[in-house]
Structure 1
Amino acid sequence: MINFDFNEDYILENEFVRLEPLSAKHYEDFLEFTIHEPEIWEYSMVKCDTPENLNKYIGIAIQKRINQEEYTFAVFDKKKQKFVGATRYCDIYLNSNRLQMGYTWYGKAFQGTGVNKNCKWLLLEFAFEKMQMVRVEFRAYSENLRSINALLSIGCSVDGVLRSNAICPKTGVRRDTMVLSILNTEWNESVREMLYAKIYPMDQ
């Protein structure tokens, strides 16, 4: 069995960001995004676009960790000294060494700033080198080009498209989902070095 304990409070950090387990205390940290930027969750099946939905989001995430299904992190931007979003491991299958990363969101001012690449670096490094994952999977609605391009930029390969597999909670329209992934061999051979160079260009 992989040495990963859902009850452990894992802290993943470098000089730019800190990822800590999501808890009820983060409600106040995220409330400003809920009130002022509800459009952040346009493509998300799990929305924090009202105070009630934010409270529900945090409660569900905590319960899923208790159930050993998911592990959600709150993202702290060390430069700005504030919590700016959240991300998680989900669909965790320890016996077959695979998991999915997703449900990621950031405040609008923190999108495209490098926060996401630093978070992905820490999460991928932990998944492949500590949890010994063989496959890390990502999913995005086919029309969500921002997310797809961000995933391609960190070294993901496109596995394919799941046609009409989800329903938009806002419109009720069925959507296609793109599936992407990184394998441990790809991480070791090229992705780790490529992503590291994007985060620490002066070290190259």
Structure 2
Amino acid sequence: MKDFILENENVLLRPLTAEDFALLLPYSLNEPETWHFSPRSAAGEDNLREYMNYALTRKAEGTEYPFVVIDKKSGQCMGSTRYYNISECNRNLEIGFTWYGKAFRGTGINKQCKFLLLQHAFEVMNILRVGFKADATNAVSVAAMKSIGAKEDGILRQDTLMPDGRFRDTMVLSILQHEWHDSVKAMLMAKLAK
């Protein structure tokens, strides 16, 4: 997949590079709770380096496409997100590994990013299904996915070993291409216009 940028008037999603370590490090050091629900933590310098190396290796293999999220007004890095589990033959992918610094949570940035990612996936990449996963106990994340039009597919019980040693139940949600065109795109555009 060739490198590309997604953007609107407020947010820029550009490909993650190894040079972005310095941009992400303050979140890694100062906001470690960001990765509480994540099976792959970037809290702490070593974990962030491993997190980024994993993402960039998967990008080189063609199964993931990580982004850095930039506030276009201030130029500040707000967080990161990615396409992952990209399957060209099945025409599906997942959006995840999404996190934002505390100052940017609840600001509407997530909806803007998800709109750009979904629009590109369905309208440029011609993807048929975009999936999402979250810790089933992470009510905020699950609600955020539902608020952008994702429908609950089910729960994978004791699906993922977490860094704290527990096995999480994973909520699986998705949006299908026809749902995007029939209703989800218009609904999200209306929310973003408010």
TM-score, structure 1 as length reference? 0.93
Question: Where does structure 2 lack aligned partners over 5 or more consecutive residues?
Answer: none
Partners of 2:11 and 2:113 within 8 A in 1: yes
Q: How many residues align?
A: 194
1:100 maps to what in 2?
Answer: 94
Question: Cα RMSD (Å) of the superposition?
Answer: 0.9
1:32 maps to what in 2?
Answer: 26
Partners of 2:39 and 2:160 within 8 A in 1: no
Are 1:73 and 2:64 matched, yes or no? Answer: no
1:176 maps to what in 2?
Answer: 169
What aligned pairs does 1:25-174 form with structure 2 within 5 A after superposition?
25-170=19-164, 172-174=165-167
Report the Cα distance in structure 1 between the residues aligned to 2:38 and 2:155, rounded to whole angstroms: 17
Q: Which amino acid aligns with 1:50?
A: G
TM-score, structure 2 as length reference? 0.98
After superposing on structure 2, the runs of 4+ consecutive aligned residues of structure 1 that deviate more than 6 Å are none
Deviation at 1:145, TM superposition (A): 0.6
Matching residue within 160, 164, 183 for 1:190:
183
Deviation at 1:199, TM superposition (A): 1.1
Q: Which amino acid aligns with 1:105?
A: W
Question: Where does structure 1 lack aligned partners over 5 or more consecutive residues?
Answer: none
Deviation at 1:200, TM superposition (A): 1.9
Report the Cα distance in structure 2 between the residues aligned to 1:18 and 1:46, rounded to whole angstroms: 24
